[in-house]
Structure 1
Amino acid sequence: MRFWRRARHAVALSGGCAFATLLSLQAEPARAFDLSSLDVFGLFTKKDEPPAPSPSALPYKLEFDLGEADDAKALTRSLQDASLLYRLRQDAPPDGESLSRRMATDLNPMLDALWSQGYFNADVTLIVDGVPLKVGAEPNATLVRVLEAHRNRDAVPITVVARPGKIFGLRRIDIVERDESGSPAIADAVKVSRLKAGDPATAAALRAAQAALVDHMRAQSRPLAKVVELRPVVDHAAGIMDVTYVLAPGPLAGFGDITVGQTDEIPPEVVRSFIYLEPGDPYSPKALADTRRSIATIPAVGSVRLREGDKLDGAGNLPIFVEVTERPKRLLGFSARYSTIDGPAVKTYWEHRNLFGGAERLRLEASVFFAPRIDGTKIQRFGDFKESDLGGRFAFSFMKPALGGSRNDWLLDGVATRERVGLNRYGGYTARYGNVTSAIRHRFSDTFSVQAGIEVERGQTSDVLGQVDYTLVGIPLSVKYDSTDNLLDPTRGFRATASFTPYPTFLGSTVGIYQTKAAVSGYYALDEDKRYVLAGRVGFGSISGASLDEIPATRRFYAGGGGSVRGYAYRSLSPLGPFRQITGGRSLLEASVEARIKVTDTIGIVPFFDAGTAFESSLPDGKQKLQMAAGLGFRYYTGIGPIRVDIAAPLNPRKGDKPVALYVSIGQAF
C-alpha cells in the first residue's frame, strides 16, 4: 500500500490535493501457508491465545476496537490482514524496545488498509495500559517501561483503537486520452470504467476501473494501451474524491509473426497446427485466449504461455511468442459413479500422452458395472447374485494429432462390451458386441471440425423382439461446433454435433440402416461474474432402412438416465412391444433446461427440467408421449470441474418407476 503512505503527508496540508499515482498500489506479497491459521476447529493451535509469559520474551495479545463502525467485522479483518503484530502474535519479541518498534511499524499499514476502503479521515492508535502510540510518533521510554512491566507476568494487552469515520464517495470522474489526434479510443469511457458518482472511493474500485479501461482498449485492437497516470484528489472537508485517468491508447495493430518456442518433447509443428491466428489478423485478447485453449486441447500439453512483444514490428503488428510445457507422459486413474436406479459403476484407465514422440495419445479403459435384471427375478440376498449381474466394457482410443503438421488428426477407437440394460417391470435387452472405428478429423478452427471414417461392428442382441446377430460396416460422417468457454462447466456459448452414418449391405452389413443424430446445447450467463447461468439442450435421433425387429437393440433409441431424462432408469424410455416390454425406437427426442446458480464460490444449486422419449417411427410423432422429470441439483466446484449431485423425480411416472432418483458424477449434466 505504498501509494496511501506517500499521499498521507500531502493530504494533511489541505482539504483537497492531488495524490501520487495509484499505479504503484500493489497487493501484499504471497505468504507461506501457515497451519496455525486453521483454527476453525482448533486442530493445530489456538491462534488467539498468546504464548506463556517468560523471563526472556514479551508475549502480547491484540484487541481491536472499531467503535460503532457499521462494517466493524469486515474492517477488523482488513486491519488484521495488514497488521504485522497480528501475523507475528505467536512470535513474542525479546524485550519492550523490540515490541514498541513492532508496534510503530504496524500503524501505517493499518491506516493504509482503512484508506484503501475509502476511509480517508480514519485514525488508528495503539494503546497499552492507557499509554498511546499514534501515527507518526516514535516509541518513547514511557511506553517501553509499560511494556516491560508485563515481563514474566502476563501477556501485554495491546488495543488497536480505530475510528474510520465516514466512507468517502466519488464526485467527479474524468477520463482523458493523451493522444487526441484521431477519434477517441473509448466512446463512453466513464461507462466502461463502471465508476459512478456517489460510489465508495475504494482502492479496489479504482484498480478495477483501470483494468476495465485497459481491457476495453485492448479489445479494440490496441495491444499497447495503458493508463499512464491516475490523479485522485481528496476533499477531506466534503468527504469526497475526484479522480482523473489519463489514457495512452496506442496504435491499432494486428498480430505479427507467431513464433513457437519451447515445447519440451512435443514437436513444434503439432503445436503450430492448433494455432489458428494468422499474421495480419486484428489483434484481439479473445483470440489469444482461444489460442491458449486450443493448444491446451493437445493431450500432451500441460501449460501454455503466450507472450506478447513489447513493441510493434515494422508492419505495425505485434509479435506473439508461444511456449508450452509437457504433461507427465503416463496417467493411471480410477473413477466411480452411482445412481439409485442404474446402480454403481467403477472404471480404471491408463493413458500415454506422447506414445511415439509425436504427441500421440493412447488410452485404455476397463469398467465394471451393475447389469439390472430384466427377467422378473430380484436379488434378495448375497447368495442370489450371479456373474451375469455384472456388465463389463473394455475400450481403447488412439489419436495421432496434426498428421504431417496439418490440421488433420487420425482417430482410432475400439470397444468390447457385455451389458444388460432395462428394468424388471418393462424388460430391456442384453448385448455383446465389439466395435472398431477409424476416422480423420479436420479442424477448420478451434470451434469447428468435420470428421469422416469407417466403422465395423459385430455383435448379438436379445430382447422381447428376438435375437439379432449382426455385422455393421458403415461410413460415419460428423460435424462439431463448440464455442463454449469450459468443457466441464460451460457458462457461455453453444455446442452442436450432428452425424450421419450409412450402413449399406454392399459394404458387408447384414442389415442396411441409416442413422442420424444431432444435439444442440446453449449456455447464457445472466451476470458478469457468471453466478447465474441458464443452460438448455435438445437431442434428436433417427434410424431408417429397416424394421424395428431387424435393427440391433443397441442401435435403437432409448431415453432416460443421468445424461438424458433424469428420474428414469438408464435407457428405459421407449415404445412398448409384446408383454409391455420396451423395444427401443427408430427416433428420439429429448430436451433439458437448467438454471445453474452459485450460492458461494464453491457451492451451487441447479433446478432442472427434463423431457424425452423414443418413438417407434423414424421421426418423432404423437403416438408416444414424452416422459417428464424435474429435480434439484447440488454442485461443489473444484479446480477440475464441478462435482454433481442430482435428485430427480418423474412428473408423469409409469407404473413401477421409482419416485426419486439420485445421480452423482463429475461435470455438469450437459
Structure 2
Amino acid sequence: MRLWRRVSRNVAGGGVCAFAAMLGGQSTPAEAFDFSSLDVFGLFGSKEQPPAVSTSTLPYQLSFDLGDAADAKALTRTLQDASLLYRLRQDAPPDGETLARRMAADLNPLVDALWSQGYFNAEVAIAVDGVALKPGVEPGAALVRAAETHRNREPVPITVRIQPGPVFGLRNVAVVERGEGAPVIADPAKVSKLKPGDAATSGALRAAQAALVDHLRNQSRPLAKVVEMRPVVDHAARIMDVTYVVEPGPLAGFGAVTIGETGDIPPAVVRSFIYLEPGDPYSPKALADTRKSVATIPAIGSVRIREADKLDAAGNLPVFVDVTERPKRLIGFSARYSTIDGPAVKTYWEHRNLFGGAERLRLEGDIFLAPRINGTKISSFDDFERSDLGGRFTVSFMKPALWGTRYDWLVDGTGARERVGTNRYGGYTARYANVTTAIRRRFSDTFSVQAGLEVERGQTSDVLGQVDYTLVGIPLSVKYDSTDSLLDATRGIRATASVTPYPSFLGSTVNVVQSKAAVSGYYAIDEDARYVLAGRVGLGSIAGEKLADIPATRRFYAGGGGSVRGYAYRTLSPLGPLGQLTGGRSLFEASVEARIKVTDTIGLVPFFDAGMAFESSIPNFKQELQYSAGLGLRYYTPIGPIRLDVAAPLNARKGDKPVAIYISIGQAF
C-alpha cells in the first residue's frame, strides 16, 4: 500500500510540493502473492529466463540500471516489488503496443516506490533499444516499432534506468489535533522517534504514525487515531516537513468485560484470571497482561482480546475475551544430560480439563543414573547395579478458580529414591514420600500468596549417619513475577519467598523452620531486547535442630545447572568426617549473565556464578565461596531458547572437573 499519492511530480525552480496522505488504516484491493519473489531462495526454480520466442507473443528481458546508487541492491528489490513489468515477466504480451502500454503503466508505481524511499528528485525512464519512455509521456509508434523488431528473434531488451539522486531528509515534525490546530503532543520528535536529518522514507513515517497512536492509547485514549498526514517536500532544499493530524479521542476506562467463546472451559474460570474491572483506566499494557494471565490456565491454548469500536454510556470501553482450548490430553518424553550431573529421562502424562472445570492432573516419572559416592566406578556393564538407578515419581493436581473465585487448590505428591554427590566428596542416599496440599490466592497477575499442609516420611544416609524422619509442616509462600516471559525473560522482576515450620506438636520428628528466598531481575538495554542483563540471588536457612539431626534432603547444597554451574549437582557444602559432604543449614547463591542476541535466532551468554552452603543457620561470608564462569550459546525457538552452557570452576577443589556442559530448554534462571 502506498503511503501517499502524488499531487504534482515536479516544481519548476525547486518549489514546494504537497501530498495527500493515504493512512495505514485504509483498505486496499487484495493482491495475489507473487511466488516468483521466492526465486532468490531457489525454491521454485528460476524465473529470470523469459518465455521462448514465438510468432504470436513478444517476450521480454527486464533489467534495472541504477547507476552508482549506494543501496542499489535493496533499491532494485523495492522497484521489482512495485513493477508490473517484473511481476508479469513470464506472461508475454501479444504485440508491441500491449507491451508499450504495460511499460507506461509501470512508471507511476516506480516513482511511488522511489518516493517511498526518500528519492523525491529521482529520474525514471524505461527504454527499448534507446527509445525511452518517461513519466507524463504517452508511448509512441517508435517504441512499438522498437519492440516489434525483436519478434520471433529474441526477447525484447527492456531497461529501467533510474537516477535516484539524493535521499531527502526530514526537517520539521508536527502533531496537531484535528479541528483545533493546536499541538496535542508536547514533544512529537521524542514520541515519533523522527529526528531532523533522518531519511524521509515511508517506513519511517508509517512507524512514527503507529508510535503516535500508541502514545495516545497509553494515556488512556483508546479511540486515538491519526486521521491525516501532511508531508510537504521542498525539492530545492531536499527536505520534507510532515504534520500528523490526530484525533486523540476522550479519556476512558475499561467497560464491561464479556467472556465469549471458551469451549469446554467454564467462563467463570476465565473471568477469575482477568483482573480488569469496570472503571479502571484504559491501558494497552493491562490488556497485554490480561492476555498473559489468562494464558496461564493450562487448559487454554490461545487468548484473543477485542476492543469495542465505541465507548459505552459511562464513557468506558467494553472488552471481549475469547479463548481456544488446548488438547485435553498430553503425553510426552524428554531427555537431558550434563557432563557432571549425568543422563536422565522423563515421561509424563497430563489431562488439562479433568472434571470439566479446567482441572489439571499431571503424572511424571523420572529415571536417572545415580552417581557413585563410595569410591567405586562403573567401568563396564557388569559393574552396573540396581542401586545405580535413581527414580522419582510425581503427581500434581490443580483446581483453578474455586467456585469462580481467585483461589486455586493445589495438590502435589512425590516418591523418590536418589543418590546425590560424587566419589571425591561423597554425598547422601535418600528414600522419601511427600504429599503437599495448598490454597493459593491470586491478588493480581503478578502477585500471589499460598498456604498449605505438608507431610513427608523418609530415610536419608550420609557421613553423619542415618536419619529416619517424619515431617509435618505448614508451608507459607509469596510470589511476585512481573517478567515478560517464563522461559526467556527480558524485563521485570521475579521473586519468591517461603517459610515452613515443622513443629513437633504436629507430629514432626525433626523440629525445624526452613526459609527460602530467591529474586532475579532482568533489564533490557535496548528497545528490542537484544542486549539483556540478568541477575539472581538465592538464600536459605534452617533453624532448630543440629545439622546431623536434619534429613540430608532438607539441608542446603549449592552446585549444578540451576545453581553454581561448573560444579557437580549439590556438591558445594561444608565437609565433615573424611572430607565428605554434610550439607548446610544456610545457603547463598548468585549469578549474573549478559544475554546478547547475535542474530534473531542465535545468542551468546557470558555468565558468572557464586555460591556455597554453610554449617550455620545464617550464611557465614567469612567462609570461602565457590566461583565459576562460562559462556553459553542460545538457539531461540518459538517455544523458548535452547540452552547450551559451558562452565568452568574458578577456584576448583581437588576432584572437581575442569569443565561442565549443560543442555536444556529455557534460560538458566
TM-score range, shorter chain: over 0.9
Q: Give, as a single letter, the amino acid of the residue that structure 2 aligns with 1:178.
A: R
1:246, distance to aligned residue in structure 2 (A): 1.6
Q: Distance in 2 between matches of 1:23 and 1:534?
A: 39
1:142, distance to aligned residue in structure 2 (A): 5.1
Is it true that 1:646 corresponds to 2:645 in the alignment?
Answer: yes
Is it true that 1:333 corresponds to 2:312 in the alignment?
Answer: no
Q: Distance in 1 between matches of 2:264 and 2:475?
A: 33
**Residues 39 and 45 of structure 1 are in contact (CA less than 8 Å); yes or no, is this contact kept in structure 2?**
no
1:380, distance to aligned residue in structure 2 (A): 2.8
TM-score, normalised with respect to structure 2: 0.93
Q: Distance in 2 between matches of 1:514 and 1:545?
A: 6
Q: Bigger CA drift: 659-668 or 143-152?
A: 143-152
Instruction: State the secondary structure of the residue aligned to 2:20.
Output: coil
Q: Distance in 2 between matches of 1:658 and 1:62?
A: 64
Q: Give, as a single letter, the amino acid of the residue that structure 2 aligns with 1:526.
A: I
Q: Give, as a single letter, the amino acid of the residue that structure 2 aligns with 1:23.
A: L
Q: Distance in 1 between matches of 2:113 and 2:263?
A: 44
Is it true that 1:176 corresponds to 2:164 in the alignment?
Answer: no
Q: Distance in 1 between matches of 2:155 and 2:334?
A: 53
What's 2:66 paired with?
66
Is it true that 1:18 corresponds to 2:4 in the alignment?
Answer: no
Tell me the matched-pair count: 667
Q: Distance in 2 between matches of 1:163 and 1:605?
A: 43
**Residues 2 and 25 of structure 1 are in contact (CA less than 8 Å); yes or no, is this contact kept in structure 2?**
no
**Residues 39 and 46 of structure 2 are in contact (CA less than 8 Å); yes or no, is this contact kept in structure 1?**
no
Alignment of 1:52-91 (within 5 A): 60-87=60-87
**Unaligned runs of at least 5 residues, structure 2:** none
Q: Distance in 2 between matches of 1:372 and 1:254?
A: 59
What's 2:192 paired with?
193
Is it true that 1:160 corresponds to 2:160 in the alignment?
Answer: yes
TM-score, normalised with respect to structure 1: 0.93
What's 2:117 paired with?
117
**Residues 568 and 650 of structure 1 are in contact (CA less than 8 Å); yes or no, is this contact kept in structure 2?**
yes
What's 2:557 paired with?
558
Q: Distance in 2 between matches of 1:94 and 1:349?
A: 65
The Cα offsets for residues 539-565 of structure 1, whole Å up to 9 and x where unpaired, read as 001112212222221111111111111
Alignment of 1:260-275 (within 5 A): 260-275=259-274
What's 1:661 paired with?
660
Deviating runs (4+, > 6 A) in structure 1? 25-31, 54-57
1:218, distance to aligned residue in structure 2 (A): 1.3
1:11, distance to aligned residue in structure 2 (A): 5.1
Q: Give, as a single letter, the amino acid of the residue that structure 2 aligns with 1:425.
A: R
**Residues 11 and 234 of structure 1 are in contact (CA less than 8 Å); yes or no, is this contact kept in structure 2?**
no
1:432, distance to aligned residue in structure 2 (A): 2.2
Q: Distance in 1 between matches of 2:129 and 2:391?
A: 75
What's 1:258 paired with?
257
Q: Distance in 1 between matches of 2:432 and 2:136?
A: 82
**Unaligned runs of at least 5 residues, structure 1:** none
Instruction: State the secondary structure of the residue aligned to 1:19.
Output: strand
Q: Give, as a single letter, the amino acid of the residue that structure 1 aligns with 2:469.
A: Y
Distance change in 2, residues 1:33/1:75 (3 Å): closer
The Cα offsets for residues 58-111 of structure 1, whole Å up to 9 and x where unpaired, read as 665443322111122222232233344445556666766665555444443333
Is it true that 1:542 corresponds to 2:541 in the alignment?
Answer: yes
Instruction: State the secondary structure of the residue aligned to 1:347.
Output: strand
Distance change in 2, residues 1:245/1:580 (3 Å): same
What's 2:38 paired with?
37
Q: Distance in 2 between matches of 1:485 and 1:601?
A: 18
What's 1:427 paired with?
426
Instruction: State the secondary structure of the residue aligned to 1:290.
Output: helix
**Residues 370 and 390 of structure 2 are in contact (CA less than 8 Å); yes or no, is this contact kept in structure 1?**
yes
Q: Distance in 1 between matches of 2:462 and 2:424?
A: 14
CA RMSD of aligned residues (A): 2.7
Instruction: State the secondary structure of the residue aligned to 2:527.
Output: coil
1:497, distance to aligned residue in structure 2 (A): 0.2
Distance change in 2, residues 1:140/1:636 (3 Å): farther
Q: Distance in 2 between matches of 1:111 and 1:10?
A: 9
What's 1:241 paired with?
240
1:624, distance to aligned residue in structure 2 (A): 3.1
The Cα offsets for residues 241-262 of structure 1, whole Å up to 9 and x where unpaired, read as 1111122222211112222222
The Cα offsets for residues 579-611 of structure 1, whole Å up to 9 and x where unpaired, read as 111121111100011111122222221111110
Distance change in 2, residues 1:338/1:135 (3 Å): farther
Q: Give, as a single letter, the amino acid of the residue that structure 1 aligns with 2:16.
A: G
Instruction: State the secondary structure of the residue aligned to 2:508.
Output: coil
**Residues 435 and 458 of structure 1 are in contact (CA less than 8 Å); yes or no, is this contact kept in structure 2?**
yes
Distance change in 2, residues 1:633/1:145 (3 Å): farther
Q: Bigger CA drift: 183-192 or 373-382?
A: 183-192
Distance change in 2, residues 1:503/1:150 (3 Å): farther
Q: Give, as a single letter, the amino acid of the residue that structure 1 aligns with 2:589.
A: E
Q: Distance in 2 between matches of 1:326 and 1:30?
A: 33
Q: Distance in 2 between matches of 1:506 and 1:307?
A: 54
Q: Distance in 2 between matches of 1:371 and 1:151?
A: 81
Alignment of 1:90-109 (within 5 A): 102-109=102-109
The Cα offsets for residues 153-186 of structure 1, whole Å up to 9 and x where unpaired, read as 55554433222110001122222223659x9753
**Residues 7 and 17 of structure 2 are in contact (CA less than 8 Å); yes or no, is this contact kept in structure 1?**
no
1:383, distance to aligned residue in structure 2 (A): 4.0
Q: Distance in 2 between matches of 1:38 and 1:579?
A: 70
**Residues 36 and 44 of structure 1 are in contact (CA less than 8 Å); yes or no, is this contact kept in structure 2?**
no
What's 2:311 paired with?
312
**Residues 222 and 252 of structure 1 are in contact (CA less than 8 Å); yes or no, is this contact kept in structure 2?**
yes
Distance change in 2, residues 1:247/1:362 (3 Å): same
Alignment of 1:521-536 (within 5 A): 521-536=520-535
What's 1:357 paired with?
356
Instruction: State the secondary structure of the residue aligned to 1:502.
Output: strand
Alignment of 1:451-490 (within 5 A): 451-490=450-489
Q: Distance in 2 between matches of 1:176 and 1:276?
A: 35
Q: Distance in 1 between matches of 2:75 and 2:131?
A: 24
Q: Give, as a single letter, the amino acid of the residue that structure 2 aligns with 1:459.
A: G
Q: Give, as a single letter, the amino acid of the residue that structure 1 aligns with 2:17.
A: C
Instruction: State the secondary structure of the residue aligned to 1:18.
Output: strand
Q: Distance in 1 between matches of 2:31 and 2:395?
A: 44
Instruction: State the secondary structure of the residue aligned to 2:372.
Output: coil
Q: Distance in 2 between matches of 1:247 and 1:568?
A: 60
